[in-house]
Each structure stands twice: as structure tokens, then as C-alpha cells.
Amino acid sequence: MEEEGYRIREDSSIDLSLKNLVTIIIAVGTAVYLYFGMLERLNTIETSYKLIQGDLEKNTDFRIRWPRGELGKLPDDSKQFMLIEHLTTRVIALEEQMKARNKSDVEALKDKVREYQSPKINLIPYGGAH
């Protein structure tokens, strides 16, 4: 017995109900819509990831180089440094004045101590009783 195979020719016809044809078209359309929706979502996530990765690299570079002063300084930083230098010179000048004053005060106190320690001649006032 010879088997007859299915042969498709130009004049072959398919017997398919309209209900089944519409169902197949809707299923294929839904599958295509879902595929392109997922593809778009993946592209959006990938683009967002690349942007975040670039920002992260820039942030890391900034975080390392800013404290070293390689990226410049803020005007406020320069102003603060000038104020700190000015205050430092004033503090040094005040310390020198305090040292000089303390030295002169110490010398004056030493002179008074010497004065009190030196022997004194007790003179009895004239005509006074002792």
C-alpha cells in the first residue's frame, strides 16, 4: 500500500472557519504586541543602566579628585582660607604681646620681691616713741 502524503500546491485550499481565522490573527497580534513591549522595556532599562553607570563613574571621579584640589576650589573655600590665614596672624601677634606683657609683669614682680627681701633700716621717727 502506498502512502499518500500531503501536498501543497498553488491551487490547494484550506478549509478554515472565519472564527478560527480571527482567533489566530488576534493571537499572533497579541504575541507580536507583547514581544515588542518587552523589547521596548528592555531597551529602556538598558539605556537607564548605561546613564546611571556613566553618572556613577563621574561621581567616583569627582569624589576622589575634589578633595585633592584637582578640580578647583569653591570661591567660599578661598574666602575661608584667607580668613583663617588672617586669624592665624592675629593669634600669633596676640600671643607675642601676651608673652611680652607676661615677661614685663614677671620682671616687675621680681623687682618687688627683691625690694621686700632687701634689708631695711628701721629709723625711729624723730621725737616719736617706740
Judgement on whether residues 78 and 44 belong to the same structural domain of the protein: no
Q: Which residues, including other chains, have CB under 8 Å from residue 62's CB and lie 6 or more apart?
A: 71
In a domain, 34, yes or no: yes
Q: How many domains does the chain have?
A: 2
Domain holding 84, by residue range, is 73-118
pLDDT at 99: 87
Most confident residue range from 3-12, 45-54, 91-100: 45-54
Are 71 and 65 in contact by the 8 Å Cβ rule? The answer is yes
Task: Indicate the helix (H) or strand (E) that contains 58.
Answer: helix 18-68
Judgement on whether residues 66 and 87 belong to the same structural domain of the protein: no
Q: What predicted TM-score, i.e. pTM, was given to this entire model? A: 0.41
Torsional class of 81: left (φ above 0), alpha (ψ -120 to 50), beta (otherwise) = alpha
pLDDT band (50, 70, 90) for residue 128: low
Average pLDDT for 114-120 = 75
Average pLDDT for 15-36 = 94
Q: How many CB atoms lie within 10 A of CB 66?
A: 13
Share of the chain above pLDDT 70, in %: 85
Average pLDDT for 24-38 = 97
In a domain, 60, yes or no: yes
Torsional class of 127: left (φ above 0), alpha (ψ -120 to 50), beta (otherwise) = left
pLDDT at 1: 46
Average pLDDT for 103-117 = 82
pLDDT, the chain, mean: 84
Q: Which three cell numbers stand for residue 64?
A: 576622589
Which amino acid is present at 84?
I
| Residue range 59-101, pLDDT digits in tens | 998 888 887 777 777 767 778 888 999 999 999 999 998 888 8
Task: Indicate the helix (H) or strand (E) that contains 9.
Answer: none
In a domain, 53, yes or no: yes
